[in-house]
């Protein structure tokens, strides 16, 4: 009985000392797949050549040096350019967050990136992603020679 009371006292002391705290992280941003072509090489977004991705997966991870990192939350979106979610939990230690973002564009372009926020003290993470798709193949004016094969 004394051991149980001592355990409750220790946990209450840790909560009071803000060592055990409810951690909450809000993640938001936008994801765009932009086509780059000869008319607008440096600025595809300015000329309206961007679209929402066909699919995207945004994962919030907690970084550990020795142990494997832990995925805290994930979100999948389809044909949406904006994302937002909130993760909350009681953790004993600080969360060292990083994002893994997987994007699939409508043309088949795939991007996998990791974004590190382990040094940030902010509980709000904003990460915008722009994937540059290759330019479309050139259109031929005359796809087939004319006049060949006539007798």
What is the per-residue pLDDT across 15-55, written as a single tens digit (0 to 9) for each?
554 545 567 899 999 999 998 765 555 555 555 689 999 99
Indicate whether 7 belongs to any domain.
no
Q: Which comes out higher in pLDDT, residue 59 or 90?
A: 59
Largest CA-CA distance found in the chain, in angstroms, rounded: 106
Predicted pLDDT at 144: 60
What is the pLDDT averaged over residues 78-99?
90
Q: Tell me if residue 139 falls in helix, strand or coil.
A: coil
pLDDT beyond 80 at 106: yes
Indicate whether 92 belongs to any domain.
yes
Q: How many domains does the chain have?
A: 1
Indicate whether 84 belongs to any domain.
yes
Indicate whether 58 belongs to any domain.
yes
CA angle 8–14–18, rounded 5-degree value: 145
Indicate whether 142 belongs to any domain.
no
pTM over 0.75: no
Name which of 100, 90, 92 is nearest 129 in CA terms: 100
Predicted pLDDT at 38: 56
Indicate whether 55 belongs to any domain.
yes
Question: In this structure, are residues 82 and 54 in contact, taking their beta carbons and an 8 Å threshold?
Answer: no
Q: Which comes out higher in pLDDT, residue 121 or 70?
A: 70
Predicted pLDDT at 11: 56
Residues 6+ apart with CB under 8 A from 94: 23
Question: In this structure, are residues 55 and 73 in contact, taking their beta carbons and an 8 Å threshold?
Answer: no
Tell me which H or E stretch contains 6.
Answer: helix 2-16
What is the per-residue pLDDT across 134-150, written as a single tens digit (0 to 9) for each?
877 777 666 566 656 55
Indicate whether 108 belongs to any domain.
yes
Q: Which comes out higher in pLDDT, residue 53 or 91?
A: 53
Indicate whether 42 belongs to any domain.
yes
What is the pLDDT averaged over residues 87-112?
91
Exposure letters 30-55 (e unless 16+ CB within 10 A, then b): bbbbbbeeeeeeeebeeeebbbbbbb
Q: What is the domain extent for residue 76?
A: 28-133
What is the per-residue pLDDT across 44-84, written as a single tens digit (0 to 9) for each?
555 568 999 999 999 999 998 889 999 999 999 999 999 99
Cα separation, 133 vs 122, whole angstroms: 32
What is the pLDDT averaged over residues 113-127?
90
CATH of the domain at 34: 2.60.40
């Amino acid at each position: 009985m004394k051991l149980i009371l001592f355990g409750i006292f220790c946990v209450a002391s840790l909560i009071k000392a803000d060592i055990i705290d409810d951690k909450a992280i809000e993640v938001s941003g936008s994801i765009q797949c932009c086509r780059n072509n000869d008319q607008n090489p440096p600025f595809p977004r300015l000329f309206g050549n961007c679209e929402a991705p066909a699919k995207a997966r945004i994962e919030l991870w907690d970084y550990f040096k020795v142990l494997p990192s832990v995925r805290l939350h994930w979100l999948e979106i389809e044909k949406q350019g904006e994302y937002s979610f909130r993760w909350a939990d009681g953790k004993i230690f600080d969360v060292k967050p990083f994002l893994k973002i997987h994007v699939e564009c409508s043309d088949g372009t795939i991007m996998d990136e990791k974004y590190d926020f382990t040094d940030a003290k902010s509980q709000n993470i904003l990460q915008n992603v722009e994937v540059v798709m290759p330019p479309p193949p050139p259109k031929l004016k005359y796809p087939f020679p004319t006049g060949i094969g006539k007798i």
